[in-house]
Amino acid sequence: MFKDRHSITLLFNANKVYDRQIIEGVGHYLQSTQVNWDLYLEEDFLTRLPSIAQWRGNGIIADFDDPKIQSALSSIDVPVIGVGGSYANEQDYPDVCYVATNNAALVNQAYEHLKGKGIENFAFYGLPDDPKFRWAKEREKAFVELCKRDGYPYSIYQGHLTRADTWQYTMNRLTDWLSSLSNPVGIISVSDSRARHIFQACEQLNKLVPHQVAIVGIDDDEVTRHLCRTGLSSVKQGSFNMGVEAAKLLHRRLENPQLAPKRILVSPMGIEERESSNFQSLKDPSVMLAMHFIKQNVFRGIKVEQVVDFVGISRSNLENRFKSSVGHSIHHELHTLKLEKAVNLLKNTDIGANVIAETAGYPSVQYMYAVFKKHFGKTPVEYRAQSLLADA
């Protein structure tokens, strides 16, 4: 079926998570269909853009978020598949077969998630206006439309690009903006990497995440997630699916060069909810402090006494306030969070019970076994085995 051998070049920055996932999707299409393609991918492809027209290949899949790439390929005489962001204005789309991440849908998922938590005050942390960041501007515009539609107050801050020599200035301006926002506020960050800036600024200002500032990023970038002390909620773009669709489109173009330009919008893959957006409408400042300390330290094996010491009021006073605001005791909160962590690790990993006990903050594996026996009527090992059977 696939007799012709084709030489295909991929113009993407493999150092970026988004680009790597697209490349992975292209690779998956090759493996699943057995198309006869030679893929050419180089690290510093931008240096050869001026001479790309002399490239003797059969097709190109390229990052069309970069205006330089789009311009360089505008008159090339081989099938080109553009991959990039979606646009509110139809005239902004390139006249090629194009696979786009749905920017409006990405922002909508983050917005609806925060709104569902009861937040009614919103903010957006974007990027400076620049042709390289057209995708960021589209997300910003989508955010404004949503807030205007629902009549919610909002604030936008584009900030500055991160550079070593201006980093402190950049963070100072970000903290100025955060200081001007009314609490509680839900902030949508244009990307996960920018969301990390907000975490750092909140620490400088002693703003509590998520009780005063709830944060949602876009990308679900594993590296960024590990660099944040608080788990970052993030919308998953579906970049892998974009790569699959781009390869599929190029395959069609190679078989039918006269195929009219086609556009595919790839929907987000949902939101990965973590601690940064787990907002609760808590009005008591002592309870907010207690909850913040718990979320930051629960898996270190803290006890109620340490929560009380951190807040700095009597145990009976804090217990009464906590139960009145949250609906249960401090001990119940600690117990629930540790149990949820242990359950998640049992269901989704194969690590041993000893490691799980330590990771979830239990004083010993024996203690964790006693908790599971009391709560579920079975040991952690039995719980894992039952979960595996249920999923089979």
Residue 44 has a pLDDT of 66
* Gap between the Cα atoms of 177 and 237, Å rounded: 27
Measured CA to CA in angstroms, residue 78 lies from 12, 105, 285 at distances of 18, 32, 63
Per-position pLDDT tens, the chain of length 392: 445 788 898 988 877 888 899 999 999 999 998 888 988 887 666 656 666 766 678 899 999 998 988 888 888 888 999 999 999 999 999 989 999 999 999 999 999 999 998 899 999 999 999 999 999 999 999 999 999 999 999 999 999 998 889 999 999 999 999 999 998 999 999 999 999 999 999 999 988 888 899 999 998 887 666 666 678 999 999 999 999 999 999 999 998 887 788 999 999 999 999 889 988 767 788 988 898 899 889 999 999 999 999 999 999 999 998 988 888 999 999 999 999 999 999 998 999 999 999 999 999 999 999 999 999 999 999 999 988 887 65
H/E run at residue 67: helix 67-72
pLDDT given at position 2:
46
Measured CA to CA in angstroms, residue 15 lies from 228, 245, 306, 332 at distances of 20, 21, 43, 44
The predicted structure's pLDDT at residue 42: 72
pLDDT for res 74: 84
Contacts of residue 83, defined as CB under 8 A and 6 or more positions apart, other chains included, come to 12, 22, 61, 62, 63, 64, 65, 98, 99, 100, 242, 243, 246
SS3 for 146? helix
Find out whether 4 and 59 touch, Cβ atoms under 8 Å.
no
Q: Which of 273, 316, 318 is nearest to 291 (CA)?
A: 318
Q: What's residue 331's pLDDT? A: 94
Cα–Cα distance between 237 and 218 in angstroms, integer? 7
CA distances in angstroms from 251 to 63, 64, 193, listed in the order given: 18, 19, 34
Nearest to 245 by CA among 70, 36, 5, 26: 26
Tell me which residue of 4, 45, 35, 39 sits closest to 23, measured CA to CA: 39
What pLDDT is attached to residue 220?
87
112: its two tokens = 């609806």
Give the position of tokens 């553009």.
Answer: 82
pTM for the complete prediction? 0.78
| Domains in the chain: ranges and CATH | 6-101+238-267 (3.40.50.2300), 103-236+273-277 (3.40.50.2300), 285-391 (1.10.10.60)
Are 271 and 233 in contact, with CB atoms under 8 Å apart? yes
